[in-house]
Amino acid sequence: MPEEIYSQLMKELSEGKYVFTGELEPEKAGNVNEPIAAARDLIGLVTACNVTDNPQSFAYVSSLAASYKIELETGMECVYQLRCSDRNRMALLSDVLGAGTLGIKNILALAGDHVALGDSPDTKPVFDLDSTTLIHMIRKIVDEGKDLGGKEIEDPPKLHVGGAAAPGAAHLKSEVAKVKRKINVGVEYLQTQVVYYPEILDKFFTELGPVDVPILVGIFPAKSFGAADFFDKYVAGVDVPPDYLANLKKTKEIKDKEERKAEVDRVNVEFFTDFLEYLKGTPAAGCHMMAVGYPRIIGPLKKVME
């Protein structure tokens, strides 16, 4: 656990409290009205919200600008996601210092999806650093007040750095070795990619063994069949269970919008109640609920854990 605590997220994790985090997605727009509205709905339900950085390599409002604006207007603590796909080490350093300047207290350091998978596939991919070296750089900035080249940083930012883990990785051993590498370089918390199957998470925790770093397990309650289907088809390392998908598909037949929404909620609560009950018995320190655009489901799901 870190010696100094700068954020509410880190405070609750270090106190051993079971932590919930949410996810907000800036859009392709000249404003962040939608994630601000979603953040307002999540106040009191989650400790902090991740603010995505060009997810799936679709270019949206800068996650730094969005994180700042969301914290300013709603008071929701943000986890500023920062990926290496689009920035070299200089730009990453600038953005980390920028985050400190704007009062951001949590960063999630990610390699990021390849730009070829997104909406501007002709983009030149950067990946000057990777998730591990970005975590290393951030710790060096915060702890030593130095950049990668050892140059002094005046008034270094005070923030925490997290990393990602993929329990469903096709080659688990190399994934776990990478997670250990991130832990060795000083990652302060981990959030996992979406998991649907207990046996996948069990295998991951067994392979990893006991670690000091808190791990928040990712779940994705989908607000519609389309959202779940997209996840299943296009997100690497994630298989959505066919029964859950089929139940969501059936809701498409309901004509009345309110009835359909209620049925989607019922399907999600039914599926995730079992999973969350199971989660209580694992080493997970909390749950990262990636319910983008679906804040109303978080309250009912949290009840399961009470």
Partner 1 sequence: MIAQEQKPIEEILGYLEGKENVVLLGCGGCATFYHTGDKKAVDDLAAKLKSAGKTVTKISMPLGMQACDTEKSAIFLQKEKSAVENCNAILVMSCGDGVQVVTEYVDDEMGLAKSVIPANDAIGLVGGGPFKFKETCQSCGMCELGKTAGICPLTACGKGLMNGPCGGVRVDDKCEIDPEKDCAWVKIYKRMEKLGELDEFIAMRAPHEWSKCKRPRLFELEEPMGMMDMMGAMMNFNTITGYMSMMLAKPPEKEEEK
Residues that bind partner 1 (CB under 8 A): 85, 89, 111, 113-114, 116-117, 125, 127-133, 136, 148, 164, 166, 169-171, 173-175, 177-178, 180-181, 184-185, 193, 236-237
Task: Name which of 33 and 88 has its Cβ closer to partner 1.
Answer: 88
Q: How far is the CB of 292 from partner 1 (least distance, A)?
A: 18
Task: Name which of 136 and 160 has its Cβ closer to partner 1.
Answer: 136
Please count the other Cβ atoms lying within 10 Å of the Cβ belonging to residue 229. Answer: 15
Q: How far is the CB of 30 from partner 1 (least distance, A)?
A: 30
Task: Name which of 103 and 241 has its Cβ closer to partner 1.
Answer: 241
Please answer whether residues 100 and 38 qualify as being in contact, where contact means their C-beta atoms are separated by less than 8 angstroms.
no
Quote the CA–CA distance of 272 and 244 in Å, as a whole number.
10
The 3-state DSSP composition of the chain as helix, strand, coil percent (nearest 5) reads 45, 15, 40
CA torsion sign for 108, 113, 119, 124 is positive
Residue 162's contacts (CB-CB under 8 Å, 6 or more residues apart) are: 79, 106, 107, 108, 109, 187, 188, 189, 190, 191
Quote the CA–CA distance of 48 and 284 in Å, as a whole number.
17
Q: How far is the CB of 215 from partner 1 (least distance, A)?
A: 15
Task: Name which of 136 and 288 has its Cβ closer to partner 1.
Answer: 136
Task: Name which of 111 and 267 has its Cβ closer to partner 1.
Answer: 111
Q: How far is the CB of 178 from partner 1 (least distance, A)?
A: 7
Q: How far is the CB of 240 from partner 1 (least distance, A)?
A: 15
